[in-house]
Copies of this chain bind each other. A is one copy, B any other.
Amino acid sequence: MAQQSKITPRDKDYNQWYLDVIQQAELADHAPVKGCMVIRPNGYALWEGIQRVLDDMFKETGHVNAYFPLLIPEEFMKREAEHVEGFAPECAVVTHGGGSKLEEPLYIRPTSETIIWSMYKKWINSHRDLPLLINQWANVVRWEMRTRLFLRTTEFLWQEGHTAHATEEEAEAETRQMLEVYRRLAEDTLAIPVIQGYKTEREKFAGAKRTYTIEAMMQDHKALQAGTSHNLGQNFARAFDVTFQDEEGKQQLVWATSWGVSTRMIGALIMTHSDDRGLVLPPRIAARKVVVVPIMGKKGGADIRPEAQQLADELGLGRAVHVDDRPNVSPGQKFHQWEQRGVPIRIELGPRDVESGQAVVVRRDTGEKLFVARAELKEKVAQVLDDIQANLFARAKALREEHSFSIDDKETFLKKLEEPGGFLHAHWCGQTECEANIQKTTKATIRCIPLDAKEEKGVCPFCGGESKQRVIFAKAY
């Protein structure tokens, strides 16, 4: 019996499909306050997985966690000119506390550079205090006009690293190291292929000297910025007067970086792999990797639930295996539900399978059914999980390559941008004004200047200005 799908197909309405996948998999819900989101247990489990992988990599690279306050004095926000211009307009402001009006309004952090550098001023005195390598897991609030679950919400969860260094070279090396950490999270764990590059002056972080980014392509061929790492130069050290005494006894301004990945990454994960039947998860991030569904025979037949439980135990995957032995729910309904939730492998076990010493292994990514002997099941499941992980990455990468175009003229640019859409590798004159015009007329932005871009002379297809390398244009989330 076919199940009625509550998921709008991608080619009918991509945006509705995305929301339907989230709802059917119970990942998130709209909150009572406009633009805010409730992250439901299935969605939060993905965030916990991302946290675990990132936190381990942060610690391996010498970072420690700390926690800075939610509330920032208005005056702090104003210290760094670009920063206040970029962030103040989208802040939520606390004006009352404990029943009284506050003397100075407090901003809910949209990001924590200012509050953190006000503390670094206290903590950093000597070259012996450097480098200072701190990360924070926190919520931030940015008042967004157009919101979308996970991708853009008024409040979101993230980590923000804030480091202080004695030299410019060290700060640059740190910025690049953390970009690589983000690439590893995206590609190795989440199976999302990304392009590493840096942002134009117009697109960089407010207050940064240079912003590095990882950019991914979604299934509608739009770009999604999945993580950024900023070389802040000495901008925040100057704004907060943070200096250190170097080994020669001279006072020097400190060099800084900051870098962040947020719950937006879950949006990228959903949009990269899911299909018209619902969520698809790479095994490495799926909290539940295998679901075992015992299929009861005729009434009065043997109860195979204990056998299903034993099979699950034999897989040796702990809490990553779930036996769905709910009574009064048909196998079809169960299959449907676990598909919608993206569990990578379903194992079906009926009375005949028990008799013949086998089980049916069904892949979520391809729908393929494998009949596997019980003796080989553990090994086979491990192998199929690896295959799914690799397949999802390869599939996403193939899509990106299919929709990446080297473009040299305006007509083709405009045409490809609309249909089929994708990453347009084109020359650009380097002028902010031209970049702004292109966005205004085409809605495409420069996603990044790829780190591996070759030197190549050319001309900007819009203004005809000289260019020495291609950049990536795309419509973006």
> CB within 8 Å of B: which residues of A?
29, 31-33, 36-41, 43-45, 47-48, 59, 64-73, 76, 89-99, 105-106, 108, 115, 118-119, 122, 134, 138-139, 141, 143-145, 154-155, 157, 319
Contact = CB atoms under 8 A, between A and B. Distances in A.
A456 to B, nearest CB: 42
Given A66-B40, A68-B38, A70-B141, A29 B119 contact: yes
Given A94-B95, A139-B139, 5 more contacts: A45-B64, A94-B94, A95-B95, A95-B96, A138-B139
B93 A66 contact: no
Contact of A71 (B36, B91, B105): B36
Q: Please classify the interface of chain A as helix (H, G, I), strand (E, B), loop, or mixed, using the class held by over half of its residues.
A: mixed
Nearest to A73: B32
Contacts of A70: 36, 70, 108, 139, 141, 155
A96 B93 contact: yes
B33 A73 contact: yes
A318 B73 CA distance: 41
Contact of A44 (B64, B141, B154): B64
A157 to B, nearest CB: 6
A154 B31 CA distance: 25
Contacts of A99: 89, 143
B68 A44 contact: no
A427 to B, nearest CB: 37
Contacts of A105: 96
Contacts of A106: 33, 92
Contacts of A64: 41, 44-45
Contacts of A31: 68-69, 115, 119
Contact of A65 (B48, B65, B319): B48
Nearest to A31: B69
Contacts of A319: 59
A43 B144 CA distance: 34
Contact of A93 (B59, B72, B90, B94): B94
A59 B319 CA distance: 10
Contact of A69 (B33, B67, B134): B33
11 contacts: A31-B119, A32-B115, A33-B72, A41-B66, A48-B65, A69-B155, A70-B141, A70-B155, A91-B97, A92-B97, A138-B139
B134 A38 contact: no
Contacts of A139: 70, 138-139
A45 B135 CA distance: 12
Nearest to A71: B33
Contacts of A38: 66-69, 119
Contacts of A108: 70, 94, 108
Contacts of A119: 29, 31, 38
A86 B70 CA distance: 23
Contacts of A134: 41
A111 to B, nearest CB: 15
Nearest to A88: B99
A45 B33 contact: no
Nearest to A153: B69
Given A32-B115, A64-B41, A69-B38, A98 B94 contact: no
A212 B290 CA distance: 39
A59 to B, nearest CB: 8
B143 A98 contact: yes
B68 A32 contact: no
Top 3 closest A-B pairs, CB basis? A98-B143, A41-B64, A39-B67
A405 B144 CA distance: 59
Given A65-B44, A71-B155, A115-B32, A94 B97 contact: no
